[in-house]
Amino acid sequence: MLDTIRSIKTTTWLEMGLFLALSIGWVVAYISMDPIDGIGTDYYPTYRAGKAILDGQNPYGPEIIAEFIATWKVPYPAVGYVYPLPLAFSMLPFSLLPLTGAIVAWILVGGLGSSAAIGLNPNWRQLVLLPLCFMPLFNAVLLKQVTLVWFAIAVLLLFSMQTERTWLVGICIALLPMKPQVGFCFMLAGVLWAWQCNRRALLWAAAWSLVLWGSCFLIQPTWVSDWLASVMRYNHIVYTAHLWPWGVLLLIVSWHLPWYTRLGVLHSLFIPIPDSYALLPLLLVWVAIGGRLAVVGSAFSWLGIVLGLPNTALVLIGTTIIPLILCSTWHWREQQRHKRERQDNDHAAHHHWFDRDAGAFWH
C-alpha cells in the first residue's frame, strides 16, 4: 500500500515537472518565433473589422485595405478582410478592448477553450500534457488565428450537446459557419443532434442567427459580395495544400474512435491547408486515443520545428499525420486484443460454471 502511494506521488511530481518544462518551452518558442509586428498577426484583420463596424466603416472597403497594406506586415495585405461580416460582428467585445488586451484575451479564450477538449475523455487527467505536445495548437496561438477560437467554439458545442444545454448548442450552431473551414461539419452535427434530441436548440439557433447574421445586412447591405471578392483575391494569392488522400486513410483507421473524431478528420484533411494550425481539429483524435500513447505520439508534431525542417506539406504529413495514423492503428489493435481477452475470460467462466453444476448434478 505504501509503495503504491509513493508511486502515485512520484508520477504526480513527474507530470508536474513535465508540465512546467513544456510550459517554459512554449514561452521560449513563442518569444523566439513571434512576429513582433505589434498588431496581432492573423487576428488583426478581425480586430480592425470590428473597429470599422463600430466606426461606421465598411470592413471590406478600400480605406481598410489601404490601411492593411501600410501596417499589416504579411505577404497578402491587399487581400483585405476574408471572413464573413457576422464573424467580426460576433467578436465585437474583443474590439472594444485595446489591441494588446484583445490579443491576450483572444489567446486565452482560444487556447484554454481548445485545450478543454481533453475533457471529452473520461480519463482526461492522463492528457494534461497533450495540448502542450500538439504543435498545431502552438501554431494557432503563435499566429493568433481565428481557427483557435472557432475550434474552441466547436469544443463548447460538443460539451453542450453532452449536457443538453440547448441555448449554448443554438449559439454554437449560429457561430460555427462563420469560419466554415473549422466549423461547418460541427455545425451540421449540432443541427442533427438538435433535430433528434432536443429541437428547442434549433429555435435558439434560429434566434441567434437572426441577430448575428441578419443584423449584418443592416450594417453593410453589400457585405456578401464584398466578402466573396476578398475570398477570390485570397485564393489567387495564398498557397494551400490538399491532404485528402491521407485523410481517407486516417478516417478509416480512426473509425473505431468516438464519432466526434470524424468531424476533426473531415475538417483537417479534406479542406485546403494553409499552415499547420489548420490541423488543430485533429486534437480530437488524440483525445479519443488517450493515455501516454496520445501524449507521446502527438509530440512528434514538433519534429519539423526542432529539426529546422521547411514548412511544407510533406513535413506536415510526416510529423503530424503519419504518427496519428500509426497510433490510431495501434489503438484499434489493442482494443481488439482486449476484446478477445474479455471474450476468452467470459468463455472460460461459462465452462467453469457448467462443469461445477454438472458435477453437482451427477454427485
**pLDDT tens profile 253-301:** 999 999 999 999 998 777 788 889 999 999 999 999 999 999 999 999 9
DSSP states of 288-346 as a string? HH-HHHHHHHHHGGGHHHHTT----HHHHIIIIIHHHHHHHHHHHHHHHHHHHHHHHHH
Q: Is residue 27 part of a domain?
A: no
Range of the domain at 81: 34-342
The helix (run of H) or strand (run of E) holding residue 260 is helix 260-269
Residue 99 near residue 39 (C-beta atoms within 8 A): yes
Q: Is residue 232 part of a domain?
A: yes
Burial 166-179 (b: 16+ CB within 10 A, else e): bebbbbbbbbbbbb
DSSP label at residue 34? -
Q: How confident is the model over 47-74, as pLDDT tens digits?
A: 999 999 999 999 999 999 999 988 888 8
Q: Is residue 60 part of a domain?
A: yes
Task: Indicate the pTM of the whole model.
Answer: 0.90
Q: Residue 324: which of 270, 267, 252 has the closest Cα? A: 252
Please report which confidence band the pLDDT of residue 242 belongs to, taking 50, 70 and 90 as the band edges.
confident
State how many domains the chain has: 1
Q: Residue 59: which of 223, 286, 214 has the closest Cα? A: 223
Residue 3 has pLDDT above 70, yes or no: no
Give dist(CA 290, CA 243) in Å, integer.
Answer: 24
Q: Is residue 250 part of a domain?
A: yes
Q: Residue 133: which of 265, 26, 276 has the closest Cα? A: 26
Q: Is residue 167 part of a domain?
A: yes
Please report which confidence band the pLDDT of residue 40 belongs to, taking 50, 70 and 90 as the band edges.
low
| Full 3-state SS string of 123-190 | CHHHHCCHHHHCHHHHHHHHCCCHHHHHHHHHHHHHHHHHHCCHHHHHHHHHHHHHCHHHHHHHHHHH
Residue 265 near residue 246 (C-beta atoms within 8 A): no
Q: Is residue 91 part of a domain?
A: yes
A 10 A CB-CB count for 188 gives 15
| Cell output for 289 | 486515443
C-alpha dihedral sign at 41, 45, 51, 54: negative
Q: Is residue 360 part of a domain?
A: no
Please report which confidence band the pLDDT of residue 8 belongs to, taking 50, 70 and 90 as the band edges.
very low
Percent of the chain predicted with pLDDT > 90: 68
| Cell output for 306 | 526542432
Q: Is residue 348 part of a domain?
A: no
| Cell output for 72 | 499589416
Give dist(CA 24, CA 30) in Å, integer.
Answer: 10
Residue 250 near residue 321 (C-beta atoms within 8 A): yes
